[in-house]
C-alpha cells in the first residue's frame, strides 16, 4: 500500500517507529500520549519540510560577517479540530512564525461521514505553504473535505501531516487530491465495521484530551 501513492511518505526513522508503537499502546496514559504526539509531530514535520526554499542571509557572528540561509516562505498551519490541536504546539515550536488557522470537523457516528462545524479561515489564503494537521487518516473523509476547503481558499501548496493512516484514507486522498503530499508515521492494516483504524490507537481526540468516547 505505501508504495502505491506516489506522494505518500511513511517515515522509516527508528525513533518514529518506536514512538508510534508506544503511542498506540492502550497502557499509555493521557499525559504520555500528548507528549508522544508532540514529539512525533516534530519529527514528521522535519521530514515534511525538507524542500522549503531558502534565501541567502547576511549576518554577523560574535567574530565576523558571514552568509547563511533563511526560509523565505509564509507557512500556515491548519489543524482539523479537535484532534489536530494535539499537533499544533509542536508545529509552532518548530515553525514559530507560522500562522495557525482552524477547521472543525467531526465524524457522524451513524453515517461515519465528516460534518463541518467550524471554519476560521480568512477570506484569502496569505501563505505559500499550508500544512494540514490531523493525527488519524481513517476513511479520509474529513481530510479530503478539509483539503477541498483549503484549496478553494486559495492555497497553492498543501501538505497533509498525520500520525497514523489506513489504506482506505490514503486511496481516497489519492483519488480526490493526488497533488497533496502525505506524511505519516505508520500505515495500519484496515478499517473495522465502525471505521476505526485497526490495529490503530483508539480515538486520538479522546486520548489526547482525557475524554471518554
Active-site residue set: 107, 111, 203, 206
Give 60: exposed, middle or buried? Use CB within 10 Å, 0-12, 13-18, 19+: exposed
**Phi and psi dihedrals of 58, rounded to 5?**
-90, 130
Three-state DSSP class for residue 188: coil
- Tell me how far apart the alpha carbons of residues 211 and 110 are, in angstroms, rounded to a whole number: 20
Cell of 75: 507557512
Say which DSSP state 34 is in.
Answer: H
CA 146 from chain centre, in angstroms, equals 12
Determine how many CB atoms are found less than 10 A away from the CB of residue 208: 20
Amino acid at each position: 500500500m505505501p508504495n502505491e501513492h506516489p506522494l505518500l511518505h511513511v517515515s522509516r526513522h527508528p525513533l518514529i517507529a518506536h514512538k508510534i508503537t508506544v503511542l498506540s499502546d492502550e497502557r499509555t496514559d493521557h499525559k504520555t500520549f500528548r507528549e508522544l504526539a508532540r514529539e512525533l509531530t516534530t519529527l514528521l514535520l522535519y521530514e515534511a519540510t525538507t524542500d522549503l526554499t531558502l534565501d541567502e542571509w547576511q549576518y554577523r557572528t560574535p567574530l565576523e560577517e558571514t552568509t547563511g540561509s533563511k526560509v523565505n516562505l509564509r507557512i500556515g498551519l491548519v489543524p482539523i479540530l479537535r484532534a489536530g490541536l494535539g499537533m499544533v504546539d509542536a508545529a509552532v515550536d518548530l515553525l514559530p512564525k507560522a500562522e495557525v488557522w482552524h477547521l472543525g470537523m467531526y465524524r457522524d457516528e451513524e453515517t461515519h461521514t465528516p460534518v463541518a462545524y467550524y471554519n476560521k479561515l480568512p477570506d484569502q489564503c496569505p501563505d505559500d505553504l499550508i500544512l494540514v494537521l490531523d493525527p488519524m487518516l481513517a476513511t479520509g473523509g474529513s481530510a479530503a473535505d478539509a483539503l477541498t476547503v483549503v484549496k478553494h481558499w486559495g492555497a497553492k501548496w498543501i501538505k497533509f501531516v498525520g500520525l497514523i493512516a489506513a489504506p482506505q484514507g490514503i486511496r481516497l486522498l489519492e483519488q480526490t487530491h493526488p497533488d497533496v503530499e502525505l506524511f505519516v508515521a505508520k500505515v495500519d492494516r484496515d478499517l473495522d465495521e465502525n471505521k476505526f483504524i485497526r490495529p490503530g490507537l483508539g480515538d486520538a481526540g479522546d486520548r489526547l484530551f482525557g475524554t471518554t468516547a
